[in-house]
Chain A
Amino acid sequence: MSDTTDTTDSKPHKAGVFDVRNIIGALMGVYGVILTLAGIFGDPEFEKTGDVNANLWTGLALLVVSAVFIGWARLRPIVVPTDFDRPDDDPTRPAPQRKRPPTH
């Protein structure tokens, strides 16, 4: 993962792999592929499932979910704001004071 977000970059950049939709899509996709293959080549264990190839159907459904999430992330990428308002320090509470950068 060399394409890390670089916070010193001045132009807006996309969240990319950090976008949780891509992470969900990737995990569901990997699971979808494995279960689909298990459904095709593995023992379907009909005595447990009552004659349904459960692995195959779940695998295919997961592939669809994966495609939806990755598609959504592609169509509407999250743009990481370079500068967003953080909550101000409150002098009345004991908390680590935020070290503000000298220029804002």
Chain B
Amino acid sequence: MSSDTLIDASWLDYLLVAIYFGFVLGIGVMARRSVSDSIDFFLSGRSLPAWVTGLAFISANLGAVEIMGMSANGAEIGMPTVHYFWVGAVPAMLFLGVVMMPFYYGSKVRSVPEFMFRRFGTGAHLVNAISFAVAQLLIAGVNLALLAGIVHALLGWPIWIALIVAGAVVLSYITLGGLSAAIYNEVLQFFVIVASLLPLTLIGLHRVGGWDGLTDKITAAADSAPPEAEVATAAQQLESWPGTALSGFDSPLFSVIGIVFGLGFVLSFGYWTTNFVEVQRAMASDSISAARKTPIIGAFPKMFIPFIVIIPGMISAVLVTEMIDLKNGGSPDGGASGEGVAYNDALLLLMRDVLPNGLLGLAIAGLLAAFMAGMAANISAFNTVFSYDLWQRYIRKDHSDDYYLRIGRLATVGATVIAIFTAQIAMGYDNVMNYLQTLFGFFNAPLFATFILGMFWKRMTPTAGWVGLVAGTLSAVAVDRLAAAGVIDLPGQGAAFLAASTAFVVDIVLSILVSLVTKPKDPSELRGLVYSETPREDRTDPDEAAMPWWRRTVPLAGIALAMVIVLNFAF
């Protein structure tokens, strides 16, 4: 390993990073003074305004996935990456706010597995709590791997030392404050990231000669690429539809179906509506109306994020020497992992090439903050589920509040140590997005199927709840293994979409079959959990009718939906 670092930072950059961490720790210390009991620690006492939780909601997700994964995807396949936002995330966030949030907030559960417990009982709850906890540890590993990658790029430390140091920093950050501090930091981090990625995009575009220059360069690069590099054609890279480079299907029709059903409906709805890391943010708001508006307010900035993460990736692929080489089938040395450049490095390399010292420090602070907060969010969600849903329910009941807080802190330490190991798995993937989509297919797609059926069909039985979850996850794993063995040949993220869709269908079909032969719960137990058994006044906020139209849930969601449809047609 050479002693040169990938990024050449000056004292000015370090100053900007240090100021950020000073703020973060300051908030942690201030928040610690007001942490009184364990509900405060886990859910911030439900007292934050909707715009704060709305920004925290997307910021919790503006970590590894968005920044590195989406820019890697942008560099590799170009514009079709926008589907993650405009077909995937935004419609799913609107659905969460309009349809599902009343059940979460109204039933006052503290975690998604707890909802499963109330609706389906022990079996489904245990399956869900365990699979959720495992998923959080794996995803925390992704964030940690990327965090360590930046430390390595910046300081030139060996990757394993970087992993341990990064883990220790995240650990101290979580133990300092709980969710309240995490939410404030996420809002802060959102602004720092936008403040660094927006100039990066603008300067990058300026360097390649604007949008026209970018399309010309991508076209020229795609035309001159050697055939063995299997680069997507310029038309595929520059138009979002039909996105064959993303889905891996040759047929445009199947590609559109794969994206809308696999990515849009199953994966994204599954991710956004059942992922406790995100939903936890909305549960921290001060009324049912604010909880419903949280994802909807988040949807507005969310639809513009592709412009500052995907476009820099595309610019990087035509401007940075190593990326051009990589895309032409070469394997240039260097990169954040120290084992050769990968698509994951697209953004870091672009920063190195276009940002002056100063802005570079701002960008590094933003990235460090994002991965740290992303990992902290995974770990705090793991922590909640582990101490309430697993430890308290199945292992040690009826202990004091202090006892569970202590268990929560121990779980935090344990999860951080495990994440250092799961980070190794994540580093084995060239494009981290492929890995994440695979994980989401395993865990979120069957969960979404069980949720949606359980929320709208009161006949669904407790046995069907856990059978559907287990069978769905197993079928997704089976499809993934078949794809890995080469039986199903889908490049891009098509295999992940197919695995998720299979899991969804298997889960729904089996749940219906099992429900028909087993005994359902008594309808009186389903109030607040199933649509037809919940009276209207339990699902709505009485104060909301008095608010002006632009502060009400449904009109806001309508505007967001109209905007995202326009964006889909424009690109």
A residues bordering B, Cβ < 8 Å?
A: 1, 4-5, 7, 17-18, 20, 23-24, 26-28, 30-31, 34-35, 38-39, 42-45, 48-50, 52, 54-55, 57-58, 61-62, 65, 78, 84, 86-88, 90, 92-99
Contacts and interface: CB of A to CB of B under 8 A. Distances in A.
Given A34-B16, A55-B356, A94-B397, 13 more contacts: A27-B20, A31-B16, A35-B358, A38-B356, A45-B357, A49-B207, A57-B199, A58-B195, A86-B45, A95-B388, A96-B38, A96-B401, A97-B401
13 contacts: A20-B52, A27-B192, A38-B357, A42-B357, A54-B355, A54-B359, A55-B358, A86-B45, A88-B108, A93-B117, A96-B38, A96-B39, A99-B37
B417 interface: no
Given A28-B191, A34-B16, A49 B30 contact: no
A34 B117 CA distance: 52
Nearest to A78: B49
Contacts of A88: 108
Main secondary structure of the interface of B (DSSP, over half): helix
A65 B355 contact: no
Given A5-B34, A31-B362, A52 B401 contact: no
Interface in B28-68: 30, 33-34, 37-39, 45-47, 49, 52
B259 to A, nearest CB: 35
Contacts of B271: none
B388 A94 contact: yes
Interface of B: 12, 15-16, 19-20, 23, 27, 30, 33-34, 37-39, 45-47, 49, 52, 108-110, 114, 117-118, 184, 187-188, 191-192, 195, 199, 203, 206-207, 286, 353-359, 362, 388, 392-393, 397-398, 400-401, 404
Contacts of A96: 37-39, 400-401, 404
Contacts of B397: 94
Contact of B15 (A34, A43, A62, A65): A34
A43 B45 CA distance: 48
A31 B206 CA distance: 23
Nearest to B183: A20
Contacts, number: 124
A88 B415 CA distance: 30
A38 B12 contact: yes
B362 A84 contact: no
Contacts of A52: 203, 206
Contact of B203 (A1, A54, A97): A54
Contacts of B47: 84
Nearest to B108: A87
A64 B381 CA distance: 36
A50 B187 contact: no
A93 B393 CA distance: 9
Contacts of B404: 96
B191 A38 contact: no
A79 B140 CA distance: 37
A38 B358 CA distance: 7
Nearest to A36: B358
Contacts of B37: 96, 98-99
